[in-house]
Structure 1
Amino acid sequence: MLLVIPPLTQLNTPYPSITYLTGFLQSRGIQVEQADLGIEMVLRLFSTDGLRSVFKELHNNTSVLPKEAVQMMQAEHRYLKLIGPVITFLQGRSPDLADRFMQPGVLPQGPRFRGRRTFPRSVSISDRAKQWATFFLEDLADLVQATITPHFGLSRYAEQIGRSASSFDQIATALTAPQSLIDEWVRDLFWSHFQRTRPTLVGLSIPFPGNLYGAFVIAQSIKEQYPDLPVVIGGGYVNTELRRVTDPRVFDYVDFITLDNGERPLLSLIEYLSGLRHRRALCRTMFREQDRVVYVDDSRLTDFSMDDIGCPTYQGLALDRYLTILD
């Protein structure tokens, strides 16, 4: 099984949902891998090659660009030169860069630097440099949002779709729109993990509205390539916003929706897919049957205690790649 956090949650540490589920399932002898596509997508964007692709699209854009975008394009070489050092600094790997970043004129200062309350000089130079490095990334994120895709934010992806998804129409419309550069990267990153793990089940954790669109981009890509590969979604957002879903179109992209604590529903789903359980004996799970959404919950199944769930595992997640972002 492959458990995935779609873009985007926090950038400073993995969101714990998949780490607990991975640890639990592995303790039951189930082979599970995990991936945080949020941090991977952000690092793909905030790299020399990623920014070069963004600026290339802007140079090929024939429409009128915002004034701020034009100004940033004029500083393209500075952004390309500095993006690597800024990322390594925010990852804590080059703390000596703090002095350099605080020198006037080193970091190009776009709109995010203007009108923002900066830390006083009594704050350590390291934290002040982290704030400026954050402004630097926020300027680039705003550039992507204004010119490449309106869905992108530094810690959320198409959040407005998740927040306004009173019906499936808005999600379906977004999924039929032309792919953005960011969408392509999300798909590429997923398939790199797929090729490495070759899972027989993919689980997508959706804790927040800003993860919903990314999850369905991944699910859509899976169904295009492997329509029979089971896909299951769950998580905090699903528990609150999708627990009464009635639109069968949702299941064009996913096969199962699990609700509330994920350990028992996932374990029962794996048992079902292994031929050890009937589909009607699943735990807090929805699926499509004869073009209707069906909810089943075997009352004989109880949730596991915290002692039974055990400890999370971060195996497979590169903890040294996360970023310290300061507001």
Structure 2
Amino acid sequence: MNVFTIIPPLVQLNAPYPSGAYLTSFFKKEGHDAHWADLSIELFYEIFSRSGLEKLFSLSEQSALTMADKAEKNGDDNTAFNIRRYISQKEIWIEWIDFITAVLSGGGAREKEHQFLYSPFAPRGQRMENFLEALAQDGREPSVDDVRFLCSYALADLADYITAVFDKEFSLIRYAEALTVDERTFAEVEKGLDSPVLEHFYKLVLCRHAELVSASDEKTLICISIPFAGTFVPALYTARFLKSQYGQKVFICIGGGFVNTELRDLRDASLGKYIDAISYDRGYGSYKALFDSIKNMGTESAVVSTGSTTVFCEPLYKLRIFQNGKVIEPVWTDEKYEKYETEITTQIIPDYSDIDFSRYLRMCDDKNAMHRIWTDGSWIKAYLAHGCYWHRCAFCDTQLDYVCAYRPVVVEKLYEGLLKTAREKNVYGIHFVDEAMPPVALKRFALENAKHGNPLYFWGNIRFEKTFTKDFAAFLSYCGLGGVSAGLEVAAESGLENINKGTDIRSIIRACAALKEAGVLVHAYMIYGFWYDTAQTILDSMETLRQFYAAGLLDSCFWHKFVLTKNSTVYTEWKEGRQKNLQPIEPKSDKKGGLFAGNNIHFKGENQYDKFGLPLDTALDNWMHGNKIEMKVQKWFDFQVPKPTVSENFIDSCIEEYEQINKKRMASLNAQNVKNVWWLGGAPVRCGTPNLAGTGNTEYRWLYLMEEQTAPAKFMDVELLLALRPEASDEARTAALNKITATPEAISNLKKLLGRGLVLLDF
């Protein structure tokens, strides 16, 4: 069977979403002719190109001028001016757009960057002007080093124009998100299908890619991945287009993150106008069941063939089927397919052979280093493990496969595949999209990278926990780890217990200190508005977070407002009679067609802390850019809030504890754990001249964590140390460890080097 996987717009512009790479690899393993396309980047260039902007202005000019006149009559001169100048400068925007996108994708003409920066005949929008004004307020002139920022803001300005005058649902990412979240029935969601951007631009993208279907004589399986709420409408538009073009020649399935969390109970038969099935969770088991049923057609009763139509008579594993106005419910448990899915999950290596990474944009919309890592780089996305190895946090969807079904991959095989992709695509950054990278797998991947000469730079989500010691953080950094993000959620001991985080605030602080000391960028996710929250708990969490920044332990954060979901642990506990403080408001489906997305559940009191959102975000934005860190947290609010109860030196005292723990590490080295020592220091250089006897006042010097270290020559066995480097061969390391255990004074000498280039890992 031919298989074509589609990532609908708009997800992200700097890298392809990985579901297509994983599904394509799976389908090829099953012996099918498989391809995939990221239509996010295709739609972007359909709009943001010379021909695209010519069409955009042609379609929108009259309505834009009408809107500007209306704004002016209402006294909104600023809006009127901004809209009119787009029309006035439309030829300039058209002339410069290909340069703008070329700069952000790594090309462009360097000489024209000066012109784009200084010429009065280069385009300007409000975001661009705000950026240039901020530079002036900082007391400096713009330089060509600012051009990528200016180009990024240029795209944002054009996106603002599109949203204001052409398609109010448009966004550079997560197209029409509000439509699927706020409008609650499937019939209401359908109303968004004929939006201007989809009809005038996206349809042309689909026409080009539809050739993959028309060129085949076989029936084609179309898999449409829907990672976010905002991609559902364009996914539905995609399905409608393909059905109208090819009818029964295509079998269309939807799946992905949004489907798995929000649409598990979607049974509206009218969805059958667009798709044939919904595949849940990883998809490997459900598609295997589908292939098996088609293969057995005629020998079993599961499916029958009527002309060009495949009619399913029996339910299939994790596949909700829509046919002839009816819905066939999935089989949610099946030992055969669960075993198959477990086995193949460990083996799948993402296949990016269909992707041209040179087309993706490296956006610069923030000077914060950790924020930049998300958008400024075309990352190859992969995971070290499916699911979360902890999967117990109270607020998380712990009942769902993507969290609770923990399956680590074969690390060495994954590394080999990712390195091959990196060399073929000339992209050497890896973004691990795990719920939380397992430390053991992370260490193995890092070691593989070191043994290959550290060609890959990688980052991803972790859990802040005691595993990330100073030594382990230094080891990972040495081997290519550049950044981590993790859920801090609540910066208070009692809060961490309430959400069953599985770690404590001191372990989190030590992990952050270790990672930052090793030069790893650190991002934290924060949550406010929990079911148990009070103004006091929020202020205490905010004060602790402020101290994190004052101590230099974090690079960036996001504040999220808590959302209760029906697949979370806390909701399950409430149904069991626990969590007395939680009072869910059960949804009432009085709309025709029933509720559309049903995972989010309102609860009593959830809106009382909405007013905290803006002050929390404002303070955080300042802290992330080094501003007003010492200001008392209660001063960020324009309403009465309590003073924090957190000690003003809480973080500092925890850092002192961290330093003391590290000093005690030297005493912990012994014959049993010496196999876990690694040398990360530079090559020791001998200083001084030995006497005729070969002794004298000589020493070795080397760098470790950018600081010079020294030791008397008599303590140093340089050849042995170099054999303990992560990049050393297994044979050299084994010989070195054998020498250490056979020499009584070797461990004693090594203890003197712990923390100075030699690290001791716990596993």
The alignment's TM-score, normalised by the length of structure 1, stands at: 0.90
Pick closer, same or farther for the CA change 1:110–1:269 going to 2, 3 Å: same
Deviation at 1:185, TM superposition (A): 2.3
Taking the aligned partners of 1:260 and 1:62, their CA distance within structure 2 comes to: 44
Instruction: Tell me how far 1:105 sits from its aligned partner.
Output: 3.4
Q: How many residues align?
A: 325
Q: Which amino acid aligns with 2:108?
A: S
- 2:221 is aligned, of 184, 201, 221, to 201
Q: Deviations over 1:109-154 (max 9, x none)?
A: 21222445857799x9566221110110111111111122112111
Q: What one-letter code is carried by the residue in structure 2 that aligns with 1:320?
A: S
Matched, 1:74 2:76: no
Partner in structure 2 of residue 222 of structure 1? 242
Question: Which residue does 1:163 correspond to in 2?
Answer: 181
Alignment of 1:49-64 (within 5 A): 49-61=51-63, 64=66
Q: Secondary structure at the match of 2:209?
A: helix
Of residues 122, 142, 147 in structure 2, which corresponds to 1:129?
Answer: 147
Give the distance between the partners of 2:139 and 2:318, measured in 1 at CA: 54
Distance 2:296 2:51 in 1: 46
Give the aligned partner of residue 329 of structure 2. Answer: 295
Does residue 89 of the first structure (1) align with residue 107 of the second (2)?
A: no
Displacement of 1:62 in angstroms is 8.3
Pairing partner for 2:230 from 210, 218, 234: 210
Deviation, structure 1 residue 306: 5.8
The answer to whether the 8 A contact 2:115-2:122 is kept is no
1:188 and 2:204 correspond: yes
1:325 partner amino acid: M
- Is 1:263–1:309's contact at 8 Å kept on the other side of the alignment? no
> What is the distance in 2 between the residues matched to 1:225 and 1:273?
23
Inter-partner Cα distance in structure 2 for 1:127 and 1:264: 49
Corresponding residue SS for 1:24: helix
Relative to structure 1, the CA distance from residue 24 to residue 244 in structure 2 (aligned partners, 3 Å threshold; closer, same or farther) is same
Contact preservation (8 Å) 2:272, 2:323: no
**How much has 1:268 moved relative to structure 2?**
2.1
For 1:84 and 1:268, locate their aligned partners in 2 and report how far apart those are by CA, in whole Å.
46
Residues 97-116 of structure 1 correspond to what in structure 2 (within 5 A)?
Answer: 97-103=112-118, 105=120, 107-115=122-130
Amino acid at match of 1:232: C
1:265 paired residue number: 286
1:286 to 320, 334, 337: 320
Distance 1:130 1:289, change over 3 A: same
Sort the Cα spacing of 1:256 and 1:150 in 2 relative to 1 into closer, same or farther, 3 A: same
Query: 1: distance between equivalents of 2:183 and 2:343?
Result: 33
For 2:109 and 2:17, how far apart are their aligned partners in 1? 25
**Alpha-carbon shift at residue 207 of structure 1 (Å):** 0.2
Q: Is the 8 A contact 1:233 1:256 kept in 2?
A: yes
Tell me the CA shift for residue 203 of structure 1.
Answer: 0.8
Q: Give the C-alpha shift of residue 287 in structure 1.
A: 1.6
| Cross-structure match for 2:270 | 249
Q: 2:358 aligns with which of 307, 320, 327?
A: 320
Distance 1:305 1:147 in 2: 51
For 2:29 and 2:145, the matched residues in 1 are separated by 40
Residues 41, 89 of structure 1: CA spacing in aligned structure 2 closer, same or farther, 3 A cutoff?
A: same
Q: Is structure 2 residue 47 aligned with structure 1 residue 27?
A: no
Cα distance between partner residues in 2 of 1:127 and 1:272? 58
What letter corresponds to residue 263 of structure 2 in structure 1?
L
Tell me the distance in 1 between the aligned counterparts of 2:158 and 2:293. Answer: 46
Question: Whose strand fraction is larger, Structure 1's or Structure 2's?
Answer: 2
**Counterpart-to-counterpart distance in 1, 2:172 and 2:113:** 22
Could you tell me how far 1:289 is from its partner in structure 2? 5.2
What residue number does 2:50 align with? Answer: 48
Alpha-carbon distance, 1:259 to partner: 0.8
Cα deviation, residue 42, structure 1: 0.4
Are the aligned partners of 2:286 and 2:317 in contact in 1 as well (CA < 8 Å)? yes
1:173 pairs with 2:227? no
Relative distance call for 1:51 and 1:307 in structure 2 (3 A) is: same
Higher relative contact order (CA 8 A, sep 6+): 1
RMSD: 2.6
2:229 maps to a residue whose letter is P
In structure 2, relative to structure 1, the CA distance for the partners of 1:58 and 1:293 (3 Å cut) is same
Shift in Å at residue 291 of structure 1? 3.7
Q: Would you say the 8 A contact 1:23–1:312 is kept in 2?
A: yes
- Structure 2 unaligned runs (5+)? 69-79, 303-311, 366-763
Q: Give the CA deviation at 1:37.
A: 0.7
Cα distance in structure 1, aligned partners of 2:165 and 2:145: 30
Name whichever of 109-118 and 307-316 sits farther off.
Answer: 109-118
Structure 1, unmatched stretches of 5+, are none
With over 3 angstroms needed to count, the CA separation of the structure-2 counterparts of 1:154 and 1:181, relative to structure 1, is: closer
Q: C-alpha distance in 2, partners of 1:84/1:61?
A: 25
Cα separation, 2, equivalents of 1:239 and 1:95: 44
SS of aligned partner of 2:158: helix
For residue 132 of structure 1, what is the amino acid of its counterpart? L
* Residues 1:144 and 2:186 aligned together: no
Letter in structure 1 aligned against 2:93: Y
User: What secondary structure, in the 3-state scheme, does the structure 1 residue paired with 2:329 have?
Assistant: strand
- Quote the Cα distance in structure 2 between the aligned partners of 1:324 and 1:95: 16
Name the counterpart of 2:695. none
